[in-house]
Structure 1
Amino acid sequence: MRIGIVCPYSWDVPGGVQFHVRDLAEHLIRRGHHVSVLAPADEDTPLPPYVVAAGRAVSVPYNGSVARVNLGVRSVARVRRWVHEGDFDVLHIHEPSVPSLGLLTCWAARGPIVATFHTSNPRSRVMIAAYPMLQPALEKISARVAVSEYARRTLVEHLGGDAVVIPNGVDVGFFADAEPKAEWQGGTIGFIGRIDEPRKGLPVLMRALPRILRERPGARLLVAGRGDEKEAVAGLPDDLRGRVEFLGMVSDEDKARLLRSVDLYVAPNTGGESFGIILVEAMSAGAPVLASDLDAFAQVLDGGAAGQLFPNEDADALAAAAVHLLGAPARRAELRERGSEHVRRFDWSTVGADVLAVYETVTAGAEAVAPDDRAGFLGRLGRTRD
């Protein structure tokens, strides 16, 4: 099958959607499919052979963060050329409601389109305001996928229609087989995320840290991610700052090794999460997980059975739970076992098969319709259950 995948966010800056697109593309390629990914990227960005650069991205505020997207005039011609030359059996657009390449591809496409919605935001003013512009493009979508029930709910409330829920995928074996790193072991707490993005929750963890470190004198925090390290520890007492180690940006291999090494992985995110891929990666690596009780996180953690939850933004509750878990090896072993079992449903062997089933459904449906009727047929499928 010839598959074109559109990533709305810049390939230069790592993020959950980019990782999902990358891993899906590589899974499909291993399965023998021809895959091309269109994504914003600077000209000097090293790209995998299956990625086509659509030009430089610009930063815009979106969903409590800053998204790097591409909607320039030059991109219109690039999108049309990529669609025409690719001669794809199916186009898979991620976040078509974001003002970026996905929207342009919807306008340019003539064949079957699958759209995946990642955003979970029940009060998205952007989506509400943009609906009149989005509607003609969204009507061309053949099938809709949401990465979680909360992303599906956002789609239904803001854009109408419905979607099948297919979670983000993870190569469970990659994390499970990673080799722990000796210097990252021994009373370590892990955090991975952008340091200077408040919704990732590092400030909450920093408020909890003094109690954790004083009650567990052998503990330390390892932080992987980009941002202002001095600003991150500014609120900590001087005598505790040395027990926080910043690793900067880490490779995929080192991320897996870090998650295999820590005694506890903490996800203190405060909102704007539709799934929680880092939780799946941590469980895959066998790390006991302590996470804020966001709806999406609770779902990924099987309601708290596969990882422990604490009240969102409650630093005292986070500290109490972390202190308890660091001193309770039996409880950590229980969480590790439950997480390792639960995470199998997110492996690409399962998720990839579900995505392929959607592709096969829409391509079979399009082939069954006379060419002159296909545009109307695809539009009707995109409006299913409106």
Structure 2
Amino acid sequence: MKVGIVCPYSFDVPGGVQFHVRDLAEHLIGLGHDVSVLAPADSETELPDYVTSAGRATAVRYNGSVARLNFGPVTASKVGRWLEAGEFDVLHLHEPVTPSVSVLALMAADGPIVATFHTSMLRSRTMQTAYPIIRPSLEKIAGRIAVSEDARRTVTTHVGGDAVVIPNGVYVDRFADAPRRAAWMGSPAAPTIAFLGRMGEPRKGLPVLAAALPAVLRAVPGLRVLVAGPGDPEEVTEGWPPEVVAACTFLGSVSDADKASLLASVDVYVAPNTGGESFGIILIEAMSAGACVLASDISAFSRVLDGGAAGAMFANEQPDDLARVLVDLLGHAPRRAELAEAGQRRARLFDWSVVAGQILAVYETVIEGRAAASWEPPHRWNRFLRGGAR
């Protein structure tokens, strides 16, 4: 099968959608499919052979974060050439309402089209403004995927229609087999916890964790906090109590291998995200690595953790509750082990061997539906292939 995949966000900057597209493409290639990915990227960026650059992206504030997007007539020309050269059996667009290459590809493409919606936004002025413009193109999408129930609600609220829920995938064994690193491992007197994310992005929740740490350090004075992710430590720690700053080790951006080892090494992985998350891929990665997970009780995280059966939760944006649950976990190794084991079992549901099979089933259904639609009598309406041949 010849598959074209379009990523709206730049491959220059790591992100959940980019990782999802990369891993899906590589898994499909491993299964023998012919896959080409189109994504924004700077000319200096070293890209895999299967990725075609749509040109340099521009930083834009979107969904409480900063996304690097690419749009305009020059990009549209590149999209058209990529589509023409690809002659894909199916085109898979990610975030087809984000103003980037996905929208341009949707407007230009014909044939079987699948779209994956990653974003969770119950109210969006951008979507409400753009919808009348792109609505005719959205009707060409034959198969709609949402990575979570939260993302599915965004589809039904802003886009219309429905979507099948297929979660993000993880190579579970890569995390399960990651070596533990002595420098990141804790002891009963000096346990370790980890935070991974963009430090300066408030919705990732580092300020919530920082506000909880004074109480945690009073109960567990030897605690070490390992913070991984982009950002300026001096800037983000301004105003923090000295004892909190002293307890933190800032690792900066880490490689995939180091991230897996970090998650496998610590006593607790803390995800204090405050909102705007449609799924929670980092939770699955931590669970796969065998970490005990403690996360805010936002709906996306609660679903990943099976309502608390596969990880502990605290009240969102409540540092006191975060401190209470974290101190309890650090003081009870059997409870941590119980949650870690449950998390590893649940993580298997999100392995790429499972997720990619579900996505391929959508591809096959859309392709077969398109072929069937081409044999229908003129003017017969096909419920599934709204944008297909008539």
**TM-score, scaled to structure 1:** 0.96
Q: Does 1:367 align with 2:371?
A: yes
Task: Please report how far the alpha carbon of residue 215 of structure 1 lies from its aligned counterpart in structure 2 after TM superposition.
Answer: 1.2
Distance 1:13 1:115 in 2: 22
Paired residues for 1:13-24 under 5 Å? 13-24=13-24
Describe the shift of the 1:344–1:375 C-alpha distance in structure 2 as closer, same or farther (beyond 3 A).
farther
- Letter paired with 2:211: R
Task: Please report how far the alpha carbon of residue 373 of structure 1 lies from its aligned counterpart in structure 2 after TM superposition.
Answer: 8.5
The aligned residue for residue 290 of structure 1 is 294
The aligned residue for residue 206 of structure 1 is 210
> Is residue 142–residue 379 contact of structure 1 (8 Å, CA) maintained in 2?
no
The aligned residue for residue 279 of structure 2 is 275
Distance 1:377 1:343 in 2: 41
Q: Is the partner of 2:82 in helix, strand or coil? A: helix
Paired residues for 1:255-266 under 5 Å? 255-266=259-270
Distance 1:103 1:379 in 2: 23
Q: Does 1:242 align with 2:239?
A: no
> Is residue 140–residue 379 contact of structure 1 (8 Å, CA) maintained in 2?
no
List structure 1 runs of 4+ shifted beyond 6 angstroms. 371-379
* CA displacement, residues 304-342 of structure 1 (integer Å, 9 cap, x when unaligned): 100111111000100111111011101101101110111
The aligned residue for residue 226 of structure 2 is 222
Paired residues for 1:103-252 under 5 Å? 103-186=103-186, 187-252=191-256
- Letter paired with 2:257: E
Distance 2:7 2:170 in 1: 18
Q: Is the partner of 1:365 in helix, strand or coil? A: helix
Task: Please report how far the alpha carbon of residue 379 of structure 1 lies from its aligned counterpart in structure 2 after TM superposition.
Answer: 8.6
Distance 1:48 1:177 in 2: 24
> Is residue 373–residue 382 contact of structure 2 (8 Å, CA) maintained in 1?
no
Q: Does 1:343 align with 2:347?
A: yes
* CA displacement, residues 120-159 of structure 1 (integer Å, 9 cap, x when unaligned): 0111111111110120110110100000011001110111
* CA displacement, residues 253-275 of structure 1 (integer Å, 9 cap, x when unaligned): 00000000010000000010000
Q: Is the partner of 1:368 in helix, strand or coil? A: helix
Distance 1:298 1:370 in 2: 43
Distance 2:378 2:112 in 1: 9
Describe the shift of the 1:373–1:288 C-alpha distance in structure 2 as closer, same or farther (beyond 3 A).
farther
* CA displacement, residues 154-193 of structure 1 (integer Å, 9 cap, x when unaligned): 1101111000000000000000000011000011100100
Identity of aligned residues (%): 62
* CA displacement, residues 35-85 of structure 1 (integer Å, 9 cap, x when unaligned): 000000001101011110000111111111111111121011100000000
The range that moved more, 372-381 or 278-287, is 372-381
The range that moved more, 255-264 or 123-132, is 123-132
Distance 2:387 2:279 in 1: 25
The aligned residue for residue 65 of structure 1 is 65
Quote the RMSD (CA, aligned, Å): 1.8
* CA displacement, residues 242-299 of structure 1 (integer Å, 9 cap, x when unaligned): 2200110100000000000010000000010000000000000010000000001000
> Is residue 214–residue 243 contact of structure 2 (8 Å, CA) maintained in 1?
no
Alignment gaps of 5+ in structure 1? none
Task: Please report how far the alpha carbon of residue 237 of structure 1 lies from its aligned counterpart in structure 2 after TM superposition.
Answer: 2.1
Q: Is the partner of 1:123 in helix, strand or coil? A: coil
> Is residue 161–residue 382 contact of structure 1 (8 Å, CA) maintained in 2?
no
The aligned residue for residue 25 of structure 1 is 25
Alignment gaps of 5+ in structure 2? none
Describe the shift of the 1:167–1:375 C-alpha distance in structure 2 as closer, same or farther (beyond 3 A).
farther
The aligned residue for residue 307 of structure 1 is 311
Describe the shift of the 1:144–1:243 C-alpha distance in structure 2 as closer, same or farther (beyond 3 A).
same
The aligned residue for residue 79 of structure 2 is 79
Q: Is the partner of 1:353 in helix, strand or coil? A: helix
Residues matched between the structures, number: 384
Distance 1:84 1:137 in 2: 18
The aligned residue for residue 53 of structure 1 is 53
Distance 1:377 1:287 in 2: 51
- Letter paired with 1:137: S
- Letter paired with 2:97: S
- Letter paired with 1:59: A
The aligned residue for residue 11 of structure 2 is 11
* CA displacement, residues 8-48 of structure 1 (integer Å, 9 cap, x when unaligned): 00100111100100110011011110100000000110101
Distance 1:242 1:322 in 2: 19
- Letter paired with 2:89: D
> Is residue 169–residue 355 contact of structure 2 (8 Å, CA) maintained in 1?
yes
Task: Please report how far the alpha carbon of residue 217 of structure 1 lies from its aligned counterpart in structure 2 after TM superposition.
Answer: 1.5
Distance 2:230 2:377 in 1: 50
Describe the shift of the 1:157–1:374 C-alpha distance in structure 2 as closer, same or farther (beyond 3 A).
farther
Describe the shift of the 1:72–1:372 C-alpha distance in structure 2 as closer, same or farther (beyond 3 A).
farther
> Is residue 370–residue 385 contact of structure 2 (8 Å, CA) maintained in 1?
no
Q: Is the partner of 1:381 in helix, strand or coil? A: coil
**TM-score, scaled to structure 2:** 0.95
Distance 2:335 2:259 in 1: 24
Distance 1:282 1:374 in 2: 53
Task: Please report how far the alpha carbon of residue 364 of structure 1 lies from its aligned counterpart in structure 2 after TM superposition.
Answer: 1.1
> Is residue 274–residue 316 contact of structure 2 (8 Å, CA) maintained in 1?
yes
